[in-house]
Amino acid sequence: MPDRPDNANDSASPAPEQAVFTGDETTFFIAPMDLAMKLSTILILALVGMVSVGLILLGVWLHKSASGWLIAPAVIVFLVGVIGVMLIRVYSRPRSFTISSEGMRIDWPGRSRKLPKGAFAEMRLVTGTELGSLTRRFGLRGVLGCFGWFTSEYMGNMDAYVTRNDGLVYLRLKNRRPILLTPTQPAEFLDTLKSVVEE
């Protein structure tokens, strides 16, 4: 994610999935990656692949006694890259944000986080200018998006679940770090959440 995300639409992304209504729940999916996030993901994964291939080729070029010493790290680098992407998909990158009469739930393939409606103090769209630069404290940045604990230059600490540079939703909580996320249909997401919290 660039240090100064911009809310301008900078890529022709496919149409995002629409919200799904089931009973008293409305589910908004995480927004598709924009061009900057896609390029960042491709570059990082390409770098891992090139390091792996480079070590293998170097091992083949060198004397046979050294080739085994180089091929083993190459395999390890490749496996770490593959496993890392899988872990990001399962535990770091949310699949959806579900709003119900009780509040909001963030769903990952491997877990979920519930926020009661009384936990919210402020809910609004923000721009890159308001955020300033983002510094990663703990989490992942660049592969499939930005996920984890970040510090905004102007808005302090927050948990980020961001896959693009526009449509940024800021949720300030009463007793926890604020949340920055990018749902599909951000304006509709905010309207739905506000209607639950403010009722």
Provide the pLDDT for residue 63. 58
pLDDT higher at 23 or 31: 31
For 138, the domain range is 19-199
Query: Is the four-CA dihedral 189, 190, 191, 197 of positive or negative sign?
Result: positive
Q: Is residue 128 part of a domain?
A: yes
Residue 61 corresponds to which tokens in the numbers above? 């070029």
Q: Is residue 12 part of a domain?
A: no
Q: Tokens 């995480």 identify what position? A: 30
Give me the chain's average pLDDT, please.
77
Q: Is residue 3 part of a domain?
A: no
- Evaluate if pTM is beyond 0.75: no
pLDDT higher at 199 or 6: 199
Please count the structural domains in the chain. 1
What are the angstrom distances between the C-alpha of 23 and each of 63, 85, 109, 130, 149? 67, 34, 21, 36, 33
Provide the pLDDT for residue 170. 95
Using CA atoms, how far apart are residues 142 and 182, in angstroms rounded to an integer? 15
* Beta strands per DSSP E along 56-183: 96-100, 103-107, 112-116, 120-126, 134-141, 146-152, 156-162, 168-173, 179-181
Q: Is residue 117 part of a domain?
A: yes
Provide the pLDDT for residue 23. 72
Summarize the confidence of residues 140-165 as an average pLDDT.
83
| Res. 52 pLDDT band, cuts 50 70 90 | low
| Res. 42 pLDDT band, cuts 50 70 90 | confident
Q: Is residue 2 part of a domain?
A: no
Q: Is residue 42 part of a domain?
A: yes
Q: Is residue 187 part of a domain?
A: yes
Using CA atoms, how far apart are residues 173 and 24, in angstroms rounded to an integer? 23
Q: Is residue 182 part of a domain?
A: yes
Using CA atoms, how far apart are residues 126 and 171, in angstroms rounded to an integer? 10
CB 133 within 8 A of CB 35: no
pLDDT-above-90 percentage for the chain: 26
